[in-house]
Amino acid sequence: VTRKCDLLIVGAGLAGSMLAWRLRQAGCDAMLISDPIIPSASRAAAGLINPVTGQRLVLQENIEALLESAHAFYHEIESRFGITILHQRQMLRLFRNDKERSAWEKRKANPKYRPYLDDRLQSTDGFIQHKTGYLDTNMLLDTLYGAFRSSDALIESSFDYADLDIDKDSVRWRNLEAKRIVFCEGWRGQSNPWFAYLPFQPAKGEILTLESSHLPERIINRGKWLLPTGKNRCKLGATYGWNNLNEVPSDAARDELLAALPLLDDSSGEAKVINHVAGIRPGTLDKHPFIGFHPRQPGLAIFNGFGSKGSLLIPWYAEQFAKHLLAEKPLPSEADIARFNG
Ligand SMILES: Cc1cc2nc3c(=O)[nH]c(=O)nc-3n(C[C@H](O)[C@H](O)[C@H](O)COP(=O)(O)OP(=O)(O)OC[C@H]3O[C@@H](n4cnc5c(N)ncnc54)[C@H](O)[C@@H]3O)c2cc1C
């Protein structure tokens, strides 16, 4: 028997899951298809939220709306399910060189940066950042999966592109029929036959979990970062690699991360490595997400390309895409894949 629904979503990482939640909350019967065996960046990620990034200390565009939306989304899930997933923590930013010191001087004089950057510290060669923290991505995903399963909205299966039948006004996969389908496969989207033309730029990343009796109070960031997560645990990340794209932890990344540890926190020498994960960030060449409908297949859409900032970006873009899908509001132009129609 055919089961009809409004929309199919392929991939239940942060992108697919948050989009599905937003749409279902708005009354859209969205069904998720995702393979738990295929690794997900969202499961490896540290979930850091940092408005000012990079050596040049660049403030994220549209930051106020992004933060407001992220906080609203995560707090909605927290109060609905009685959990804590968003942990707000100050960040101690340590200077690596004079270029960073002068970037800070320049930014500090700019009123736009005032809510995010604090004065330089006397005791350490660095400064404090505000409105930073991290999202417990695994707790969020486990919670959303539970809710989707209990409303029969999650199918745990691999999606083979050859199994999709595309008609004029509908798509069909196995016994499911929907008006439209949205692809959220993370970096594997670059092998999607309809969206492979988009300029993806995936980057491998690795993170260690350390056990230590001494934990810093704040997140410490010096390019690499140390993130205290409680119970004598902290995470040490992250590496960036553009070759050998696989989700296998490597000795080289482990050595690179451990070499950075004494520069972040010189009292963490006794730390023991208790976990090591790898994932692939769904980066894009122009650093903006990929959102919208295929130029010639009006039933096929993509919601992807959140790079290394999924926790900060996805709630706001999910809201915008939901408005586009349900109320035909225009997409934010920087993310609309129409920018590649030539
Ligand atoms: C090491 C590392 C550290 C990171 N740190 C941070 C951080 O601190 N802060 C931050 O905001 N972001 C961070 N990120 C980035 C963040 O992980 C991404 O922005 C975000 O998770 C992307 O979510 P996604 O849903 O697009 O992709 P994914 O999480 O990869 O989800 C894709 C989903 O699609 C499924 N799938 C793919 N193909 C198929 C198929 N054919 N059939 C069925 N299912 C399929 C997969 O199983 C998966 O569940 C980090 C990433 C990595 C790797």
CA of 137 to the centre of ligand 1 (A): 10
- Kindly indicate the confidence band of residue 271, based on its pLDDT and cuts at 50, 70 and 90: confident
Q: Which atom of ligand 1 is nearest to the CA of 39?
A: 47
Q: Is the pLDDT of residue 102 over 70?
A: yes
pLDDT at 267 over 80: no
**Residue found by looking up tokens 């482990």 in the block:** 254
Pocket test for ligand 1, best of 21, 42, 195, 309 (most atoms within 8 A of CB): 42
Cα(40) to centroid(ligand 1), Å: 4
How much distance in Å is there from the Cα of 194 to the middle of ligand 1? Answer: 20
Q: Which residues of 260-299 are buried (b: 16+ CB within 10 A; e: fewer)?
A: bbeebbeebeebeeeebbbbbbbbbeeebbbbbbeeeeeb
Residue 288 DSSP class: S
- Report the distance separating Cα 144 and Cα 32, nearest Å: 11
Element (H, E) at 251: helix 251-264
Q: pLDDT band for 77, please (50, 70, 90 cuts).
A: very high
CA–CA distance, 289 with 196 (Å, rounded to integer):
14
DSSP letter string over 103-149?
Answer: HHHHHHTSGGGTTTEEEEPSSSSEEEE-S-EEE-HHHHHHHHHHHHH
- pLDDT at 342 > cutoff 90: no
Structure tokens at 69: 């939306």
| Whole-structure pTM value | 0.97
Residue 164 has pLDDT above 80, yes or no: yes
**Which of 306, 312, 314 to probe ligand 1 with, by most ligand atoms within 8 A of CB?**
306
Report d(CA 313, CA 65) in Å as an integer: 10
Specify the DSSP class assigned to residue 188: G
Cis check for the bond before 196: say yes or no (omega within 30 of 0): no
Cα(282) to centroid(ligand 1), Å: 7
* pLDDT band per the 50, 70, 90 thresholds, residue 270: confident
Q: Is the pLDDT of residue 17 over 80?
A: yes
pLDDT average, residue stretch 43-65:
97
> Which uninterrupted H or E stretch holds 317?
helix 310-327
Query: For residues 157 and 33, is the Cβ–Cβ distance under 8 A?
Result: yes
**Nearest atom (ligand 1) to Cα of 305:** 26
Task: Point out the ligand 1 atom lying closest to the alpha carbon of residue 313.
Answer: 11
Mean pLDDT for 25-53 is 98
Q: In the predicted model, is pLDDT for residue 1 greater than 90?
A: no
Average pLDDT value for residue range 96-115: 94
Instruction: Report, as an integer, the average pLDDT of 9-27.
Output: 98
Contact yes or no for 57/95 (Cβ under 8 A): no
**Over residues 238-251, mean pLDDT:** 96
- Mean of the pLDDT values across residues 203-221? 94
- Asked whether the beta carbons of 32 and 155 are under 8 A apart, the reply is yes
Share of the chain above pLDDT 70, in %: 99
pLDDT recorded at residue 152: 97
Q: Residue 268 has what pLDDT?
A: 64
Q: Could you tell which of 66, 89, 188 is best to mutate to test the pocket of ligand 1, judged by most ligand atoms within 8 Å of the CB?
A: 188
Which amino acid residue places its CA nearest to atom 38 of ligand 1? 185
Atom of ligand 1 nearest to the CA of 203: 53
On whether the CB atoms of residues 317 and 329 are closer than 8 A, the answer is no
162 CA distance to ligand 1 centroid (A)? 23
pLDDT in tens, 127-157: 999 999 999 999 999 999 999 999 999 999 9
Q: Which of 17, 35, 250 to mutate to test the pocket of ligand 1 (most atoms within 8 A of CB)?
A: 35
Ligand 1: residue whose CA is nearest its atom 50: 45
pLDDT, position 98: 94
Interval 281-338: pLDDT, tens: 999 999 999 999 999 999 999 999 999 999 999 999 999 999 999 999 999 999 999 9
Q: Identify whether the C-beta of residue 186 lies closer than 8 Å to the C-beta of residue 258.
A: no
User: If you take atom 15 of ligand 1, which residue's CA is the nearest one?
Assistant: 308
List all residues whose CB is within 6 A of at least one atom of ligand 1.
Answer: 10-16, 33-35, 38, 40-42, 44-48, 158-159, 184-186, 188, 205-207, 237-238, 279-282, 304, 306-312
